[in-house]
Amino acid sequence: MQNRCRSWSRVVAAALMCWATPAAFSDDAASTRAVGATDPDRAAEGCVKGSDNQSFLARLKDSYQSHLAWDGGDPNAPPSVVVGGAEVPESNPPWPYSTWNIGASPAIGVENMYYNALMDALYCGKGGQKLKDSRFTIYGWVEPGANVSTSHTRYNYATGTGGNYPAAYSFEPNTVQVDQVTLYFERTPDEIQREHFDWGGRFTGLYGTDYKYTFSNGIFSNQYLNSAKQYGFDPAMYYLDFWFPKIAEGMNVRVGRYISIPDIEAQLAPNNITYSHSLLYTYDPYTQNGIVATTKLSKNWQIQTEISSGNDVAPWVKSERHLTPAACVIWTSDSGKDNIYPCMNGINDGNWRWNNVQHAVVTWYHKFDSKWHMDTEAWYMWESRTPNVDNPNGLALIAERYSYVNYGAPSGAICNPTLITCYSYEWAVVNYLNYQVGPRDVVTWRTDYLNDARGQRTGFKSRYYEFDLGYTHWVGDTIELRPEVRFEHARDVDAYDNPTATPGHGKNSQAMIAADAVFHF
* Average pLDDT for the chain: 90
What is the radius of gyration, based on Cα positions, of the chain?
A: 23
Q: Contact 19/26 with Cβ under 8 angstroms?
A: no
pLDDT at 17 over 60: no
Q: Contact 276/468 with Cβ under 8 angstroms?
A: yes
Residues facing residue 470 across a β-bridge: 444, 484
pLDDT at 453 over 60: yes
Torsion of CA 96, 93, 207, 226, to 10 degrees: -20
Residues with Cβ within 8 Å of residue 272, at least 6 apart in sequence:
96, 265, 266
Where do the domains of the chain lie? Answer: 12-520
pLDDT tens digits, one per residue of 56-70: 999 999 999 999 999
Alpha-helical (H) ranges within 261-407 are 279-282, 392-401
d(CA 359, CA 381): 5
Residues facing residue 377 across a β-bridge: 363, 430
Give residue 313's pLDDT.
Answer: 96
The stretch 238-258 carries a mean pLDDT of 98
Give residue 38's pLDDT.
Answer: 53
Q: Residue 61 is inside which H or E element, if any?
A: helix 56-69
Handedness of CA 348, 352, 353, 356 (dihedral sign): positive
pLDDT at 499 over 70: yes
| Residue (of 347, 331, 255) closest to 293 by Cα position | 255
pLDDT at 370 over 50: yes
Give residue 410's pLDDT.
Answer: 65
Characterize the bridge pairing of strands 301-311 and 358-367: unpaired
For the domain covering 12-520, report its CATH number. Answer: 2.40.160.10
Going by pLDDT thresholds of 50, 70 and 90, the confidence category of residue 79 is: low
Percent of the chain with pLDDT over 90: 81
Predicted TM-score (pTM) of this structure? 0.90
d(CA 279, CA 260): 16
Alpha-helical (H) ranges within 210-361 are 222-225, 279-282
φ, ψ of residue 407 in degrees (nearest 5): -85, -20
Percent of the chain with pLDDT over 70: 90
d(CA 21, CA 116): 11
The stretch 31-51 carries a mean pLDDT of 68
d(CA 84, CA 105): 17
pLDDT tens digits, one per residue of 318-360: 999 999 999 999 999 999 999 999 999 989 999 999 999 999 9
The stretch 359-377 carries a mean pLDDT of 97
Going by pLDDT thresholds of 50, 70 and 90, the confidence category of residue 405 is: low
